[in-house]
Chains A and B, each alone.
Chain A
Amino acid sequence: MKVLQIVEAAYRGTIEEQDDTIVWLTHAMKGAGGDLDLLLRADAVNYAVRGQDASGFRVGSWHQTQPPKIENDVAALLPKGIKVYAVSEDTDVRGLSASDLVDGVEMVSHAGLPQLFAGYDQLWHW
């Protein structure tokens, strides 16, 4: 079974979780033998952008020591054999070009989604 994880919601509880929970889940399922790839769309295309910095959150004497490093987590999918796609219209409208993204992300147009989807048994939209 081959699954395409589709991530749309971005920065949803990521400081609190110290991860994006779906990028994390993708790593975890891969480790458990899953055959998955990842599609970033809408605001989640920003997850592949270089230079994100979420450090510095504190409440009183509590300081976050492990801020999320989502671009690293996205990039780390690739050597595991997980393809990472981003919807080009969604990057364009957000003023992003391929050079703003971590290496290895494949761009797919909205019009190309049917063909992309055809290669997967299931599509899990988070």
Chain B
Amino acid sequence: MADRKTLTFALMDAPYESTRNTTGFRLMQIAASRGYNINVFAYEGAVMVPFALQEPHPNAVHGRDVEEENHPLPKDWVTALFAETEANGGNLDWVNCGLCVDERGAGQTVAGVRRGTPGDFWKMAEGSDNTLVIPTR
């Protein structure tokens, strides 16, 4: 695709604490659907986004069992993003910052995620058409 762009995103937020990750995934979904290549540098709390041991739960307040609640697990968003990118001819490179992983015990991730360094983020950004840093607060 002549106009296949490559975009890099930096995320910082842990799951469930902010809408910023949701907006980040909305943006990446758009990019994936266009067949773009996507790089993600997950820094600090964001290394928990692809954590493999997330589990769904029921919602007694709404009277929903686990299946009915279908509670979002960000790790599933990561897996789905890999599939969506590939289905549209693009590539997703998701890098978890290694030291951030260590201090959080977040080493178990869904398939496709790799461990990396700030140097990887710089290389991703240099090789992209643009980079968007989504900061935490």
Q: Does B16 belong to the interface (CB within 8 Å)?
A: no
Q: Which of A21-54 contact B (CB under 8 A)?
A: 21, 25, 28-29, 31-34
- How many residues of A sit at the interface, in one of the four size bands? 10 to 19
Interface residues of chain B, those whose CB is within 8 Å of chain A, are: 10, 12, 43-44, 117-119, 121-123, 125-126, 130-131, 133, 135-137
Tell me whether A124 and B122 are in contact (CB under 8 A): no
Secondary structure class of chain B's binding surface, majority of residues: mixed
Which one, A3, A34, A126, contacts B135 given CB within 8 A? A126
Contact across chains for A29 and B135 when beta carbons are under 8 A apart: no
Taken residue by residue from 98 to 112, chain A's Cβ proximity to chain B (1 for < 8 Å, 0 otherwise) reads as 000000000000000
Q: B125–A122 contact, CB under 8 A?
A: yes
Cβ distance B27 to chain A, nearest Cβ, rounded Å: 16
| In the complex, the 6 A-B pairs of residues with the closest C-beta atoms, listed nearest first | A32-B119, A28-B118, A124-B133, A34-B122, A126-B135, A29-B122
A binding-site residues for B, Cβ under 8 Å? 1, 3, 8-9, 12-13, 21, 25, 28-29, 31-34, 122, 124-126
